[in-house]
Amino acid sequence: MDSKALLAIVLSFLLFLAWHFYFGPAQPPPPQQKQAATTTTQPQTMPPPAVLPPAPPPKVDLSAQKTWSIGDSLFRMKIIAQGARERSFELLKFKQELKPDSPPMQMIRDTAYLPLEIELLFHKDWDLYRRPFTSDAPTEIKIAPGEPPRSIAFQSEIPGKIRLTKIFTVQADSYAMDLEVQIQNLSAEKLSDQMGLNFYFTPYSDSAHQTYNQSRLTFSTNGSNHDLGPKEFAKPDATPKPPYDWVAYQDNFFIQAIIPLTQGGYQAIPSVVTDETQHTQITRLVFLTDRFDLEPNESSSFKLRVYNGPKIIHTLNEAGHNLSAAVDYGWFTFLAKPLLVMLRWFYSYTHNYGIAIILLTIIIKIVFWPLTQKSYTSMQKMKKVQPKIQQIREKYKDDKEKLNQELMQVYKTYKVNPMGGCLPMALQIPVFFALYRMLNSAVELRHQPFALWIHDLTAPDRLNLGFSIDLPMIGHLDGLPVLTILMGITMFLQQKMTPSSGDPRQEKIMLIMPVMFTFFFINFPAGLVLYWFVNNILSIAQQYWINRHAST
């Protein structure tokens, strides 16, 4: 087996791993057991009792709750009086699903648990999350572009015990808001406790993206990101230790990030709770302060920044604290981010991300043209000397040392390199994986159409013919992957035009590759399939040009 066949097998294997890792059936987190919530390392200043998920609170009749609506051109947030908690957070520039009547993207799901819930660890009987909060602010607050930041204060009091104040500071044209939580001791005795601020997260991907778009909890510490899944929440030392740059619940396109603004004195504890009313598992994150001791009338506060929005690099940069590091393409970040910049630049002129992908593919092809041409030329030379190589292999099949000597002499005499057709192709593999990571995670492409049946470049390629089928290892097919099939056909044509080595075994391997790639690409984003299809067309044209000039 020569280098070309080896490259085919290696590339297919890598794609197989990527397909299984990113597109295999999602494994649901294990059911939450009643007395097995989390085992966590607590602050050493005052070891608290185990931080267990609270008992499911009674379902709040949201229609009966006084609600404040706060927003601008980017978002609309609703806060209810009970606990001054977020009832909803809508992204007005994005839709929940790709439907004409789809509501805006909802970052907070309607469950029994609502975020920004306050509890005191040693006074849970006060039920702070149920207490009504009041505010002098109007119930409808619309922030105009260019308007200075607005602060909205909510307050609740347990007479003779404590006063709680939540201050939301919202900026125009920003997905980030600041939150300050103040606690004042109204009693005649010292108050010693720890405050927990609870966040609850549920997946927010629509059905078209659930196959390959998995949610995760990410801790950023000292510039490094650490992803954590539900199975790891209860493992000792699995959760990174503070201080944190930020902690976020995110998928490929959207993120809910918490950025501590108060330095030190806290830790973040993840767990899983279950909403029994909807049979839904929810990721819970508690920001737990260290012990505080408040003398009578003394106050303490905790400040943080919350970002609810899309994973767009420049908007994440505006939130500060290195939040743009949430857009992480792994090893290929150094390639993927420039490719995304180029893609957005093409879109600014074409207003169609499908056309932008085609133009980007052409640019990549031009950059790699010399390498590809060298690869094809090398394969042409290898084809010409293949009969002589076969004779040598047959003659010295029992003498490996002599066989290698004679082969090296042939390569030297005819100035051919057996790896010449392989290495230039191998150099393009990092670009492919960078494109894969970028096209799979670019929220700019979400719900963006190309043409004909392709209405979403980040969803799998499907032509709706009114049928659906479940296939082993592939999953649910709700349409015909037309572009993916065309990609496989063009790849087959490209293989037929590529000079062969004359080895029947290698030719069989190369003919199987289009079938394998078609299988792998069935659940890949349509944007990536489009790139590979256009790349095949350009490769066919290039091979035709090389073959024509080689014969003259």
DSSP state of 82: B
Q: What is the pTM of this model?
A: 0.80
Answer for the pair 283, 258: CB distance below 8 angstroms, yes or no.
no
Per the listing, tokens 């990030």 go with 257
pLDDT by 10s per residue, the chain, length 552: 444 444 454 555 455 444 444 444 334 344 444 333 333 333 334 444 445 445 555 566 666 688 999 998 999 999 999 889 999 999 999 998 888 888 999 998 877 788 888 888 888 888 888 889 999 999 999 999 889 999 999 999 999 999 999 999 999 999 999 999 999 999 999 999 988 898 988 887 655 555 556 788 999 988 888 888 777 877 777 888 888 899 999 988 999 999 999 877 788 888 888 777 767 788 889 888 888 899 999 999 999 999 999 999 999 999 988 899 998 888 888 899 999 999 999 999 999 999 999 999 999 988 888 877 777 777 777 777 777 777 777 777 777 787 788 778 877 777 776 665 565 566 677 888 888 888 888 899 999 999 889 999 988 888 888 777 777 767 777 788 899 999 999 988 887 776 665 556 666 666 778 888 888 888 888 998 999 999 899 988 888 887 777 655
How do 191-193 and 195-201 pair as beta strands? unpaired
Looking at the structure, give the CATH architecture of the domain made up of residues 45-328: Distorted Sandwich (2.70)
Token pair belonging to 29: 């987190």
> What residue spans define the domains of the chain?
3-16+338-380+419-550, 45-328
Dist. CA 17–CA 19, nearest whole Å: 5
Residue whose token pair is 């002589």: 388
**What's the distance, CA 143 to chain centroid?**
30
Q: Is 219 exposed, middle or buried (0-12, 13-18, 19+ CB in 10 A)?
A: buried
